[in-house]
């Protein structure tokens, strides 16, 4: 019993440990390789929360059954912990073999799971470590497999990674970056820049999108496309977002009252039921009315935990916050999202805008989005406007708002004030 998992009947972590140690001892004199693996179910927690622990247990039992059925001869399958499973493959000697087995298990686990009155789908991520290259004892091998799994999870769902020294170095750099970013948040070193959003018809400024900027003393400029996902992956996006929203809201207090502040929410925040309360309290501390805030969310973020996201959006809109669907057209089920959720605005992704004057398909897609949003009484913003020709084409197609380098690059708080003064002086 001490070596078995009571739910699935598989061996547990102790059985994995003893079998790895035994196999390593057998091969110590003539160190023929073998491979261990850890697999983690992607998106299991939201399903477990949605359908209940009993349904979650049933899925885990079905996963265990599938893994035992597809395991090659001589392999050991164990339940590692929670929604993680671990394996020993005595006859897998190198990366290629590990990746082939990973792909096979990934395909097996991706088939629908039967919960009686419904079916659910899951994917899985895998981390492999090959003895003795990734470690000569159980602890080192397990650490290497966990490192490989973590890299798989960073890259998205359904990924397969085999540990290597290059991957270890990459993860080491990510950890160094994480520590530097955590310190930057504490020392107030992450700044907010603002990019204008204008009315295309006459170029009048309607609001600004807040964008994170970080220049580290040792690392130099770090792109938000690097550090924002890292904060999300490592679980402190809430702290980063709260600091940025507080700074942005305080800056917006000095703008003309009619200008709105646009701010991005991450997928992790749309999975946290406390997000709306955090946002509203941050606005209250800064003294900015909720009606002046517009939150940008992506289709991917909405789909991560749809029910929770829907409740957060409804609560924020009830308090006057507007919601904008960002990067429209590049995610999945765009039309379904517009039907199922209540948005105030849609932002057309720059991928279409950048080719609007040279590619007929892009022009027609933008035209269709504008017409559809007009019918749904949604405002439209075109992102990534770089040239006069882009702006004129969008105006001709009936697009109401836009942003991009043609109208203004992101700028800090002081430069934004200067920009506003010059614009309002011109208008008077």
pLDDT tens for residues 164-209? 989 888 888 888 999 999 999 999 999 999 999 999 999 999 999 9
For residues 299 and 337, the answer to whether their CB atoms sit within 8 Å is yes
Q: Are 358 and 384 in the same domain?
A: yes
Query: What mean pLDDT do residues 307-326 have?
Result: 91
Q: Are 154 and 210 in the same domain?
A: no
Question: What is residue 222's three-state secondary structure?
Answer: strand
Q: Which is nearest to 94 in space by CA: 169, 165, 34, 160? A: 34
Q: Are 256 and 135 in the same domain?
A: no
Total structural domains in the chain?
2
What is the distance between the alpha carbons of residues 341 and 354, in angstroms, rounded to a whole number? 28
Answer yes or no: is pLDDT of 305 > 80: no
Q: Which tokens go with 407? A: 């109208």
Quote the domain boundaries for residue 252.
174-427
Q: What CATH number does the domain containing 37 carry?
A: 3.30.70.270
Strands 160-162 and 220-222: unpaired
Answer yes or no: is pLDDT of 306 > 80: no
Q: Which tokens go with 232? A: 């999300």
Per-residue pLDDT at 333: 45
Answer yes or no: is pLDDT of 46 > 80: no
Q: Are 262 and 406 in the same domain?
A: yes
Per-residue pLDDT at 342: 80
């Amino acid at each position: 019993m001490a070596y078995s998992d009571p739910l699935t009947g598989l061996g547990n972590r102790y059985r994995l440990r003893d079998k790895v140690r035994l196999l390593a001892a057998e091969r110590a004199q003539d160190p023929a390789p073998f491979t261990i693996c850890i697999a983690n179910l992607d998106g299991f927690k939201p399903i477990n929360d949605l359908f209940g622990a009993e349904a979650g247990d049933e899925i885990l039992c079905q996963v265990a059954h599938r893994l035992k059925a597809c395991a090659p001869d001589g392999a050991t399958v164990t339940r590692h912990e929670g929604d993680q499973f671990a394996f020993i493959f005595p006859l897998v000697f190198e990366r290629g073999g590990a990746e082939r087995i990973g792909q096979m298990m990934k395909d097996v686990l991706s088939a629908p799971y039967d919960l009686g009155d419904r079916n659910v789908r899951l994917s899985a991520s895998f981390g492999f470590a090959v003895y003795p290259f990734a470690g000569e004892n159980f602890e080192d091998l397990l650490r290497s497999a966990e490192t490989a799994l973590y890299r798989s999870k960073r890259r998205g769902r359904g990924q397969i990674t085999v540990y290597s020294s290059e991957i270890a170095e990459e993860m080491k750099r990510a950890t160094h970056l994480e520590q530097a970013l955590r310190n930057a948040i504490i020392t107030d070193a992450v700044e907010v820049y603002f990019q204008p959003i204008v009315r295309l018809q006459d170029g009048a400024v309607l609001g600004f999108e807040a964008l994170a900027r970080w220049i580290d003393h040792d690392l130099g400029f770090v792109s938000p496309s690097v550090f924002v996902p890292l904060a999300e992956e490592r679980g402190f996006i809430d702290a980063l977002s709260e600091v940025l929203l507080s700074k942005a809201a305080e800056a917006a207090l000095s703008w003309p009252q009619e200008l709105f502040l646009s701010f991005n929410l991450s997928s992790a925040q749309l999975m946290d039921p406390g997000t709306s309360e955090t946002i509203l309290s941050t606005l209250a501390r800064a003294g900015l009315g909720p009606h002046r805030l517009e939150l940008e969310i992506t289709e991917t973020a909405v789909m991560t935990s749809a029910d929770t996201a829907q409740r957060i959006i409804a609560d924020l809109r009830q308090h006057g916050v507007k919601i904008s669907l960002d990067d429209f057209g590049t995610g999945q089920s765009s039309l379904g999202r517009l039907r199922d959720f209540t948005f105030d605005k849609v932002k057309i992704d720059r991928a279409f805008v950048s080719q609007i004057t040279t590619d007929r398909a892009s022009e027609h897609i933008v035209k269709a989005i504008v017409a559809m949003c007009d019918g749904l009484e949604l405002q439209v913003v075109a992102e990534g406007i770089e040239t006069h020709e882009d702006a004129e084409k969008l105006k001709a197609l009936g697009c109401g708002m836009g942003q991009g380098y043609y109208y203004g690059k992101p700028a800090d708080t002081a430069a934004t004030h200067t920009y506003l003064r010059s614009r309002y002086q011109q208008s008077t």
